[in-house]
Chain A
Amino acid sequence: MEFPKNGFIMSNNIDLKKGLDIPINGAAVQKTKKEITPSVVAVKPTDFRGLKAKLLVREGDKVLAGSPVLAAKESPDVLFTSPVSGTVTEIVRGEKRKLLEVRIKADQTREFVDFGVKKVSSMDGAQVRAALLESGLWPAIISRPYGVLADTTIKPKAIFISAFSTAPLAADLEYVLRDELENIQTGINALAKLTDGGVHVSLDSETYSGTPFHKLENAVLHTFSGKHPAGNVGVQIHHISPISKGETIWTVSLLMAAAIGKLFNTGHYDLSRKVAITGPKAIDPCYVTALPGVAMADLKEFYDNSQNNVRIISGDVLSGKSVGAEGYLGFFDNQVTILKEGNEYEMFGWAKPFRTNLFSASRAYFSWLTPKKKYDMDTNLHGGPRAFVMSDVYGKVLPMDLYPVYLIKACMAGDLDKMEKYGIYEVLEEDLALCEYVCPSKIEIQSILSDGIDLMIKEMA
């Protein structure tokens, strides 16, 4: 395949009409307040779907940034490496001895394993793959369907990168990565060796000309406009080249593409990134420089948990993980969201004509009259769980040609044929997260979908 050159944009902008930008308070201002020097970081196998991890270190072992800590049991050449140099202090296991965290006490300075500076243009696919595997960057590739680790033995149909994020309060990728253009370009050049279908990069049609990303070469550029989830790579794939049965597509976040480029340009496994501290309960929402696996305890100046009443989320409010003050930043995340726990009663809440401090995407309340207003949202469920009743609220926030209610019901029933028919290959939890947010029946759509995907993996393997 011939790759389009500099600045080439696929002519048709893809305009998505459906979606929702949740007006939540606490966007990070564009300043990088400090660099977090980590005390302890954690490598978490739970960041990767379906990973059965084999432990490669023992408590007390010394590691460098880039030293292997874990390997995948089923394909032992997939390594997970330490983001810092330091000493393994604790191996945390959960129920049934499931491996949860490998905690590493960080040295004052990061010392790197030297993987050697490499020239991507003279490498072939096998060499790129080997470099990613040994450095621990192979797990940065997410394979669809199902969102699992990429199979090291195949070539995917294509590789997709979303160059903008629309999730609530998400880090602005242009701000975070504007100085990393060279690394991203190297990353794309490397990834292009792994597929015959090319690397596809999706840009925000409104801002792309202001970002450096439209200068990327060796990739097919697409533009999208619309509300969240227009920035979700799954939604973009659906509109560019839908996944059908038997096909595999890989996705890489722009952040990880930069890290891959850095590996080749510097020889280091360096995942340091600008992390957005966001949310209504974040004190001084801004950016910090941090590593994946950094402890929330190291960020404690940004929240006040003295009442034990805030929720600390690694990621965004829709699909992030609640990690708590004792938790660690996820491997893929560059956002921390701080929310108030909404464990309070509200008298006659649903019967009040006005609830001016609450937002609703529906017109059942009057928040649609104040479209610019932002809200201090908390974690209250605002109701009780019920069966599906309203059928048309979900489609309004899902810019994909599929029927979310039917897909979710198929997942509930564990009906593999129907799950396949209704499009399970095309979605991950994050793509249906807004459906869950707006659901008046408070159905846990992402969890149900997740169980459905796990069932597919188990039964179709």
Chain B
Amino acid sequence: MNGLRKLTDKIKPTFEKGKGKLGFLHSTFDAFETFLFVPNTVTRRGTHIKDSIDLKRIMIIVVMALLPAMLFGIWNVGYQHNAAFGLEWGFWQMVGYGLVKVIPLYLVSYIVGLAIEFISAQIRGHEVNEGYLVSGMLIPLIVPIDVPLWMLAIAVAFAVIIGKEVFGGTGMNIWNPALLARAFLFFSYPSRMSGDTVWTGGVLRYINENTAYACGNGLVDGFSGATPLAHASMDGLQAAGTSFMDMFLGIIPGSVGETSVVAILIGAIILLWTGVASWKVMFSTVLGGLAIGYLGYAVGSTDLPGYYQLVMGGFAFGAVFMATDPVTSAQTETGKWIYGFLVGALAVTVRLWNPGYPEGMMLAILLMNTFAPLIDHYVIEAGISRRAKKVKTA
């Protein structure tokens, strides 16, 4: 440890702003240095002591919370491929296939995203913000496994530049950057983002080119590849042989990390236990989803009971990891209840009553991101008039 510190101290002057030979790379050096060492900065003005928490710690906790969903996703990518082509793979073969498919997504996500973060920090002369550690972890988990890497690169660049940096970086953005990347893909390349063939690794290529890695004897009879949302009715699910438990465990086709409610729940427990995410947002999102889900069930728009909505598609993933983003969600405590409820309610509304889009979570969260400041505005105005009244009566 001392050796590394000595080395860092030795090369530090080279990167000194305005003085060192590589002074223009100051932010980059600083990012690596603060990654390795909590800096020796002391308090100057204000409180003389500070809590030991910082944003790096918060971000790493979110990354940890995402690990179960990611690991399950890697296995499920292999499992779905295995099932589609009727292979008889063991556990490690499935994981191996999943790794081959998922690692490139992560490489592209982090290399493109972090490069832009470093460059913009460099331009501004700021410290590199750790926000992208989480966004970069999220993006591969919410795209179909076979999304072309160049598309992913463009989407990441769009999300980081237009979604975040133009507003001033992490903490200033209006929309969740990861969802913005997904929305960009969704509207720019719909054929690679929806339909029945994109959710299982290798299927699209097999259909187009009649070849794929480990395609065996071709697709099994009766392969549909559709996510449960595409046939969201009791009959539909039964015909596809998908039970509630399958959806809860996550052994269904879908975006890489969104399928397993169990893995997501482990993440939710980590986030709530550490207090990093707001339980109010999570809970009210679920409430909103259930309310509209049961309303649809009651009026006959669907024959699935409301709780089915929670385990299908991206609902659970969105409620736990996306809606709770502290920057883009509502900031006031009352606002969080309203915001979360509307996210859940809108997502299920889109599912049930909009024939164009089988899934509504992404658009519901982005829409509510847009309205979160408005919700906060009214909550605060109400607080001010409540205070004014109290002052008068006191």
Contacts and interface: CB of A to CB of B under 8 A. Distances in A.
A360 B47 contact: no
A361 B169 CA distance: 27
Interface stretch (A70-78, A287-295, A400-408): A400-408
Nearest to B38: A349
Nearest to A344: B40
Contacts of A30: none
A421 B384 contact: yes
A422 B1 CA distance: 48
Given A347-B37, A387-B169, A395-B333, A381 B394 contact: no
Nearest to A245: B391
A364 B47 CA distance: 21
B129 interface: yes
Interface stretch (A82-90, A218-226, A260-268, A432-440): A432-440
Contacts of B174: none
Contacts of B336: 392
Interface stretch (A178-186, A269-277, A311-319): A311-319
A241 B171 contact: no
Interface string B372-390: 0000000010011011101
A362 to B, nearest CB: 5
A444 B4 contact: no
Interface string A322-342: 100000000000000101011
Interface residues of B, number: 59
Given A359-B52, A403-B332, A381 B39 contact: yes
Contacts of A381: 39, 41-43, 50
Contacts of A402: 383, 387
A209 interface: no
B170 A382 contact: no
B170 A387 contact: yes
Contacts of B170: 386-387, 389
Nearest to A447: B45
Contacts of B233: none
B171 to A, nearest CB: 3
A420 to B, nearest CB: 10
Interface string B269-282: 00001111010000
A429 B170 CA distance: 27
B243 interface: no
Interface centre among A318, A359, A364, A379 (most CB of B within 10 A): A364
A422 to B, nearest CB: 8
A343 interface: yes
Given A345-B5, A350-B56, A380 B37 contact: no
A151 to B, nearest CB: 21
Contacts of B392: 244
Nearest to B379: A403
Contacts of A389: 55, 58, 131, 170-171, 326-327
B39 A384 contact: yes
Contacts of A391: 326, 329, 331-332
Interface string A420-458: 011100000100010011111110111100000000000
Interface string A284-317: 0000000000000000000000000001010001
Interface in B278-314: 278
A358 interface: yes
Contact of B380 (A348, A403, A440, A447): A403
A441 B55 contact: yes
Contact of A342 (B40, B44, B54, B388): B40
Nearest to A366: B274
B209 interface: no
B57 interface: yes
B46 interface: yes
Nearest to A345: B37
A369 to B, nearest CB: 12
Contacts of A442: 50, 54
Interface centre among A344, A351, A363, A382 (most CB of B within 10 A): A382
Contact of B172 (A22, A344, A387, A405): A387
Contact of B47 (A350, A384, A386, A433): A433
A281 to B, nearest CB: 12
B127 interface: yes
Interface in A361-398: 361-365, 367, 377-392, 395
Given A341-B42, A379-B48, A386 B331 contact: no
B40 A385 contact: no
Given A381-B50, A389-B327, A401-B383, A440 B55 contact: yes
Given A350-B56, A382-B52, 20 more contacts: A242-B390, A344-B40, A345-B39, A347-B37, A347-B38, A350-B60, A355-B52, A363-B273, A364-B57, A364-B61, A364-B274, A364-B275, A380-B43, A382-B53, A385-B127, A390-B58, A390-B326, A401-B383, A436-B47, A439-B51
Per CB-CB distance, the 8 closest pairs between chain A and chain B, nearest first, are A383-B54, A387-B171, A349-B38, A358-B52, A391-B331, A345-B37, A346-B38, A244-B391
27 contacts: A244-B391, A343-B41, A345-B5, A345-B40, A347-B36, A349-B37, A350-B54, A351-B56, A351-B60, A363-B274, A364-B57, A364-B274, A365-B52, A381-B50, A383-B50, A384-B34, A384-B127, A386-B127, A387-B168, A390-B58, A401-B386, A403-B383, A421-B384, A422-B384, A433-B47, A440-B53, A444-B44
